């Protein structure tokens, strides 16, 4: 099978390779073999490729396949698995090795994909909503019942767009920050009811103060990626 691999840590564009790898063995009880159709590239995936602090140096004994989340179609299931079937579309997380064509997945980490949900959406439907829930709870804890302006960076990311939708639904006074004027314009079209500011503007700090009515920030969200 084909897979994206790396045999040492480093910048993704320098160390990642498309390579042939042995296919997984037949799934054991409690497992399913999934043909992966779509998988996201999370900032954490790239950080794992580059190497976290304290990561071993030099080449690995066995090439590593990045990725933890994705979706695909079940090829076969292990003995005793009754609630999943071959041909069924599923999403999975967290399962190491998602950047491959075939992946053996524990069935308790698999979620059936509803009809009408695209492959691309399904590949992102597990970790990002959980991240959104964690962010909402963190803001609730930080504000101690006193609502106030919230600023988020990387507002054009997948999670950032979920945050924007949640802010409109729940009445959170959110201010979006992105790095480029083009990104800001795109996000304003998607969420016309939310202030969106490009940090490429020389006066972006003043724009934030105006957007929050001059009030001090109660909390802010920040992430690694920022369009």
Q: Which domains does the chain have, with CATH numbers?
A: 2-119 (3.90.180.10), 127-221 (3.40.50.720)
Q: Tens digits of per-residue pLDDT, 10-49? A: 999 999 999 999 999 999 999 999 999 999 999 889 999 9
Model confidence over 189-224: pLDDT tens digits? 999 999 999 999 999 999 999 998 876 565 565 654
Q: How confident is the model at residue 227 (pLDDT cuts 50, 70, 90)?
A: very low
pTM equals 0.76
- How far is C-alpha 15 from the chain's CA centre? 22
pLDDT given for residue 222 in this prediction: 61
Q: Rounded to whole angstroms, how far apart are CA atoms 223 and 206?
A: 22
pLDDT of residue 146: 64
169/160 Cα distance (integer angstroms): 14
The predicted structure's pLDDT at residue 126: 93
């Amino acid at each position: 099978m084909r897979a994206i691999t790396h045999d040492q840590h480093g910048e993704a564009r320098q160390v990642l390779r498309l390579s042939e790898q042995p296919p997984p063995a037949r799934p054991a009880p409690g497992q399913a073999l999934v043909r992966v159709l779509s998988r996201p590239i999370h900032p954490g995936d790239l950080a794992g490729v580059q190497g976290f602090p304290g990561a071993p140096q030099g080449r690995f004994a066995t090439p590593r396949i990045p990725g933890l989340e994705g979706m695909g179609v079940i090829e076969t299931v292990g003995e005793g698995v009754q609630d999943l079937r071959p041909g069924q579309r599923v999403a999975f997380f967290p399962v190491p090795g998602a950047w491959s064509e075939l992946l053996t997945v524990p069935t308790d980490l698999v979620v059936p994909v509803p009809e009408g949900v695209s492959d691309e959406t399904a590949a992102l439907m597990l970790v990002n909503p959980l991240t959104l829930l964690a962010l909402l709870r963190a803001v609730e804890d930080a504000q101690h019942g006193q609502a106030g302006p919230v600023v988020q960076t990387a507002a054009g990311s997948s999670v950032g767009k979920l945050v924007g939708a949640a802010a409109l639904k729940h009445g959170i006074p959110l201010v979006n920050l992105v790095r480029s004027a083009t990104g800001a314009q795109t996000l304003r079209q998607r969420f016309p009811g939310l202030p969106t500011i490009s940090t490429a503007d020389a006066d972006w700090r003043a724009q934030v103060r105006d957007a929050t009515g001059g009030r001090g920030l109660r909390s802010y969200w920040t992430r690694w990626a920022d369009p």
